[in-house]
Amino acid sequence: MNYLAHIYLSGDNDFIKIGNFMADSVKGSQFKSYENEIQKGILLHRFIDSFTDFHPVYRKSKHRLHEKYGHYSGVIMDIFYDHFLAKNWTLFSTISLHLYSQNFYDLVTLHFDKLTEKTQKMLPYMIQHNWLASYATIEGIETILMQMDYRTKYKGNMSHATHELKLFYNEFETEFFIFFTELINMCKQKTNELHELL
């Protein structure tokens, strides 16, 4: 899953959101240096990634991309699934995607000092281009994939993947709903476990 899903799956706890958001740049046991709620967010992020990588529905979706995009198929699929979350946002939240996105940008700007250096460098671009809300359209997804291509020196040709998104749109969306419904429930359980542990 990509940024929007990770933030959404953090629930209403602001510091779990922050930890989940920046977790990719926190390696190994480094998470222990953060306050408890941020630790929970980092560990929840790792749980989501592991659950996603091994889930048969997600793997079925990703398999459609593997032959053409190889190692980058997982990156692309995470962004595709965020697209279906954004597109169907009103089914998951009573707050508009625009307001939800702005509230999150305000949150991480307020707590900028708690973010990893890598996340601090990325954040201005994220806010400027409103990444979270832009997931909702295919045009937005194409722009994000072009930016990903630039960051990876065009090794994966990810910007071409909107062709597959359009070609298998209904299949991807059906699989997203099956997968994400299960993931929401699993994250609630995991969050409760983390509250007991930390």
Domain ranges in the chain are: 3-197
Cα separation, 18 vs 114, whole angstroms: 8
pLDDT value for 150? 81
Residue 94 has what DSSP assignment? S
Asked whether the beta carbons of 191 and 16 are under 8 A apart, the reply is yes
Asked whether the beta carbons of 5 and 180 are under 8 A apart, the reply is yes
- Amino acid at site 142: E
Quick: pLDDT tens for 134-174: 999 999 999 999 988 887 777 778 989 999 999 999 999 99
pTM, rounded to two decimals:
0.95
